[in-house]
Amino acid sequence: MDKDFRYVWHPFTQMQDYQEHEPLIVERGEGVMLYDVDGRAYYDSVASIWTNTLGHAHPALTDAIIKQAQLVSHSTLLGHANVPSILLAEQIVDIAPDGLSHVFFCDSGAEAVEIALKMAYQYWQLKGRPEKKRFVKFVEAYHGDTIGAVSVGAMERFHETYRDMLFETFEVPYPYCYRCPLGLSPLTCAHACMEELKTLLAEKADRIAGVILEPVQGSSGIIPMPDDYLREIEALCKKNDVLLIVDEVATGFGRTGEMFASDHDGVEPDLMTIGKGLTGGYLPVAAALATDEIYEAFLGTYDSNKTFYHGHTFTGNQLGCAVALENLRLFKEERVIEHVQDVASYVAGRLQQFWDLPAVGDIRQKGLFVGIELVRDRATREPFAFEERIGWHVGNRCRENGMIMRPLGSVCLFIPPLIVTKEQAGAMLDILYRSIKEETRERMGGHLR
């Protein structure tokens, strides 16, 4: 603990506050469980920040890494190739939405977003349309923490500090119908938000390179788009000659009950970013996917200056690609998507119990991607004050009760490894229910049932 406090700077963590509490130091994992250095067991209800698919210490995934390491652990992809990256690219194209036929590997979701933005920007230059250089982003979007990703993000608390470093974008409302950004009722919110995008594209498409979005906004509180909403955006982009960039870093690889969230609406993006669950949460591999149309615009002679000048040292790392291949093999063999759909249906039923808690204002679910928004007053939707740290308190109570749950502000999460059983999901939800009840009882004036 002392060495942790002395040497490690943790992400998204106020370190002064962190050092006032006993840290949880993980030593090992097994299945849906994590164990700390004192041997205490915890359910991993957030899949180690939404990455774990097949459980911790899965023997087949571990073996895939070992076998590859006995051959070669890394060689450059800059102007050369390696076997696992070729095989993985083929597998990704096979499961991706139709039309996405080329894979550019990288190390993280934020880097994948940077790549997609740069591809879109350069694509229009190569097509003789250099004026198309701006991007459309959505209110409360989060696409990562690199400067390009922050530029197309819109979470003020995260991004305001860096505003002067960012490039200009157009911003439109996202259909967060529980708290409509336009101040409208849930019945009219989605339509009005779509009208804002229609108007923007109709007026300024000649200056717009692409629209980037999350089919389920993750870091802003697990907010799914309404059914068919993404399909309508796709049609608008095609009509106005604007590229559609879908960020599936959090939603890909079964999390929402389909391989990709785009599949729910049958959408075929021009560019798509993936990461997190690609390797089962074992090693950092991500990618940007592009269509033939975009890829071919970059083809030319050596001196044509059409090269995509972008890359990372560990792009296409063999260890990461090998474990990703095994992860995708097991997805098919163990019918993970069907399992997610089955457990998600069970979870939907269990979530109804949470309405017994007065502090629960909204419950949002897409597959095994669940957010429970806590409020001070359900009738008025009055939120808990930021300073009250209600989500943080519930997370700490979950830890005391044997579960790791990292909230998003006042939104409590349930995002378990995809192999979670109904019994395990039920046990996790029992802990979450009890923790919310215990932490909100006093704050809600003791009026809990």
Per-domain residue ranges of the chain = 1-57+335-446, 61-334
Beta pairing class for 286-291 and 271-274 = antiparallel
Taking 3-state DSSP, the helix, strand and coil percentages for the chain, each rounded to the nearest 5, stand at 45, 15, 40
Pairing type for strands 360-365 and 370-377 reads antiparallel
Q: Is the pLDDT of residue 198 over 80?
A: yes
Annotated binding-site positions for pyridoxal 5'-phosphate: 109-110, 247, 312-313
Least confident of 87-101, 181-195, 224-238: 181-195
- Whether 173 shows a pLDDT value over 70: the answer reads yes
DSSP element (H, E) containing 125: helix 109-126
Query: 158 versus 233: which is more confidently predicted?
Result: 233
The tens digit of pLDDT for each residue in 212-231 reads: 999 999 999 999 999 999 99
Q: pLDDT band for position 1 (50/70/90)?
A: confident
- CA of 370: how far to CAs of 90, 192, 262, 340, 373, in Å? 31, 25, 18, 13, 10
Instruction: Give me the mean pLDDT over the 380-387 stretch.
Output: 94
User: Taking the CB of residue 253, how many other CB atoms lie within 10 A of it?
Assistant: 30
Fold of 1-57+335-446: Aspartate Aminotransferase, domain 1 (3.90.1150)
Q: What is the pLDDT of residue 445?
A: 64
Mention the CATH class of domain 61-334.
alpha beta
Average pLDDT over residues 237-249: 98
Contact 289, 103 (CB under 8 A): yes
Tokens read off for 351: 């979530």
Q: What is the pLDDT of residue 443?
A: 75
Q: What percent of the chain has pLDDT over 90?
A: 94
Q: Let me know the angle formed at the C-alpha of 228 by 227 and 232, rounded to the nearest 5 degrees.
A: 145
Name the pTM for this structure: 0.96
| Sequence-ordered list of residues with C-beta below 8 angstroms from that of 18, at least 6 positions apart, any chain | 5, 10
Q: What is the pLDDT of residue 294?
A: 98
Dist CA 8 CA 153 (whole Å): 27
Q: What is the pLDDT of residue 448?
A: 42
What is the pLDDT, as a whole number, of residue 53?
A: 98
DSSP β-ladder status, 170-172 and 134-138? parallel
d(CA 125, CA 123): 5
Confidence of residue 37 (pLDDT cuts 50, 70, 90): very high
Q: Mean of the per-residue pLDDT values for the chain?
A: 96
What are the two backbone dihedrals, phi and then psi, of residue 10, each rounded to the nearest 5 degrees?
Answer: -85, 145
Give the CA count within 13 Å in the CB-facing half-sphere of 227.
Answer: 0
Q: Is the pLDDT of residue 301 over 80?
A: yes
Binding residues: 109-110, 142, 247, 276, 311-313, 406
What does the DSSP 8-state code read for residue 63? Answer: H
Band (pLDDT 50/70/90 cuts) for residue 183 is confident
Token pair of 304 as six digits? 């044509």
What's the whole-number mean pLDDT along residues 404-430?
98
pLDDT at 241: 98
Residue 75 has pLDDT above 70, yes or no: yes
CB 193 within 8 A of CB 175: yes
Residue 449: what pLDDT? 38
pLDDT of 409 strictly over 50: yes
What would the two tokens of residue 362 be? 């909204």
The secondary element (H helix, E strand) that includes residue 247 is: strand 243-247
Q: Which residues are annotated as a binding site for substrate?
A: 142, 276, 311, 406
Q: Do domains 1-57+335-446 and 61-334 have the same CATH topology?
A: no
* Packed helices 336-351 and 422-440: angle between N→C axes, nearest 10 degrees: 30
